[in-house]
Amino acid sequence: MTWATREIAGWGRVLRAEAALARPERQRTARALAESAPAPALGRRRSYGDACLAERAMLTERLDRVLSFDPETGTLEAESGVMLGDLAARLAPLGWLPPVMPGTGFATMGGAIAMDVHGKNHHHAGAFAAHVDRLTLATPAGPVEVAPGDPLFALTAGGLGQTGPILKATIRLARVRGDVMMVTERRMADLDAFCDALDASDAPYTVGWIDATATGPALGRGILEEGEVARGLVPPAKRGRTVPLDAPGFALSAPVVRTFNAAYLRRVPARGRTVVRPIADYFFPLDRIHDWNRLYGKCGFHQFQCVVPMDARPALRDMLARIGKAALASPLAVLKRLGPGAGHPMSFPVEGYTLAIDLPARDGADRLLAALNAATAEAGGRVYLAKDSSLTAEQAHAMYPGRAAWAEAVNARDPERAYETALVKRLRLREAA
C-alpha cells in the first residue's frame, strides 16, 4: 500500500497537520493495512478542529459501497466511507432515511459512529450509534465484529476512532412517508421563548437559527424550524455553487453580519409560515455551497458547540451576551434541544440545550472561546469534541467524567497508541487518571 504525505486541515482551516495517508479501495486492502501498519481512519474530514488530523491515517473515502439493503425492514449494511447524504438521496424515494443526520451530508457512516453524531431529531431518536446493529473493526489481529451490549461497542460509539478503523456497519433506517420536507417556521422573540418552544415541540425534527448579534431584550431571537417528512411537489434542489477563493476579511465584518441577520430574520413573516423543501436543503443547507469554509478567509474559523443542562438557560444567555459584545459572530448560529444521552463515555449528547456558532479566527476569538469554554464547564455542560479547537485538557477531562475508564480500556487494546489523532493528543484524552 502506498503512503502519500500531504498537508490536511480541519474544516475550520485553523488547525493543520502534515500526514502520511493511505487510501485503500477494498476492505481486504484495509484489513491488510490495519494488520501491518495500524493507523486511525479518517473520512471526509468535516470535523472542524483537529479530530480529523493525524500524523498517519487510513482514508476511507473509497470504502463507500452499500453491501446490502432490505427494503422491507430498512436494515442496511454499508462500508464505513459511505456518505450519509448519498444514502438519503438514494433511499428517501424508497421510503427510508438514515435514522440520524448531522448538518452535512458529507459525514461518513464510520465518522457518524466514531463521533456518535446527533441531528435535528435527537430529542426523539437519540444519537447515531443507537441505531447500529453491529459494526466491524479492523485490528492488528484481524477483523472484530462488535454489537451493542459488548463493552467494546461503548468504547467505539463516540470514541473518536480510538478502537481502530471501522470497516463496515449495519444500521436500522428510519421509515418515512415521502421524499420532501414540510417545514413550519416561526420567529422567536428571545432566548426564553426559543427554549420554551423547543421544549413544547412534538415535531419529528426541530432546529433553531439564532441571531447571535442581537443584544438586550432581543438576545437569543431567531427562527424555529419544525420539520416532518411528507409527500408533495417541491422545486428541485438548487444546484451547488463553489466558493472559488478565500473571501476578504470585510465579508463577515460585524456590520455586514448584523445587516444580514436582520434581513434573514425578516424573511419569515411575523405570523410564521409553512414551506416545502427538498430533503437535502433542510438537513444539509450549506452543502449546496461547496467549500463554504472559504467564506471565512484564509485564516479560517472556529466552531464552538456546547450542551448545557435544562436548568442552565442563564448560562446560555450569558454566552450569547458575550458573543454579541465581542462582535465576532457569523450568521451561522444554531440552537437545538437534546434528549437523554446514551451513556457512552465519550459521546457528546446529554439532555439539555446545544448551542453551536462559527467564529472567524480574528483578534479576540481566542479570548472569546476561552470564556465560552469556561462558562460551559461552570454550567455543568460539555463541548463537542468533533468541533473543538480550543479546549484545555483539564476542561475536557472534567466534561467527560467517563474518560479515565475509557482511556484505560482503549490503552489496553492499543498500547502503542497507533490510533491517536491530533485532538486526542492535544487534550491528553488517553492519559491515565
- What the block records as the C-alpha cell of 213 is 448579534
Q: Which amino acid is at 24?
A: P
What is residue 327's predicted lDDT score, i.e. its pLDDT? 87
Q: Backbone phi, then psi, for 336, in 5-degree steps?
A: -140, 165
**Residue of 332 and 335 predicted with greater confidence:** 335
For range 202-208, the mean pLDDT: 96
Q: Which helix (H) or strand (E) holds 17?
A: strand 16-22
Q: What angle do CA 379, 381, 382 make, to 5 degrees?
A: 140
To the nearest whole number, what is the mean pLDDT of the chain? 94
- What the block records as the C-alpha cell of 29 is 486492502
What is residue 206's predicted lDDT score, i.e. its pLDDT? 97
Is pLDDT above 60 for 135? Answer: yes
Is pLDDT above 90 for 2? Answer: no
- What the block records as the C-alpha cell of 228 is 416532518
Report the helix count and the strand count for the chain, using DSSP H and E: 13, 21
> How many CB atoms within 10 Å of residue 79?
23
Residues 239-290: pLDDT tens digits?
666 766 576 665 678 888 898 889 999 999 999 999 999 999 999 998 888 8
* pLDDT band, very low/low/confident/very high, at 238 (cuts 50, 70, 90): low
Residues 69-83: pLDDT tens digits?
999 999 999 999 999
Is pLDDT above 90 for 14? Answer: yes
* pLDDT band, very low/low/confident/very high, at 126 (cuts 50, 70, 90): very high
State the burial class of residue 321 (Cβ atoms within 10 Å of its Cβ: 0-12, 13-18, 19+).
middle
What is residue 134's predicted lDDT score, i.e. its pLDDT? 98
Is pLDDT above 60 for 237? Answer: no
Handedness of CA 337, 287, 175, 343 (dihedral sign): negative
Q: In 3D, which of 11, 127, 5, 15 has the Cα closest to residue 427?
A: 15
What is residue 231's predicted lDDT score, i.e. its pLDDT? 78
Q: In 3D, which of 214, 130, 140, 228 has the Cα closest to residue 179?
A: 228
- What the block records as the C-alpha cell of 126 is 437519540
Please name the residues in contact with 221: beta carbons below 8 A apart, sequence gap of 6 or more. Answer: 187, 188, 189, 190, 194, 210, 211, 214, 265
For range 161-187, the mean pLDDT: 95
For range 37-55, the mean pLDDT: 96
Is pLDDT above 90 for 38? Answer: yes
Query: Using CA atoms, how far apart are residues 312 and 104, in angstroms rounded to an integer?
Result: 28
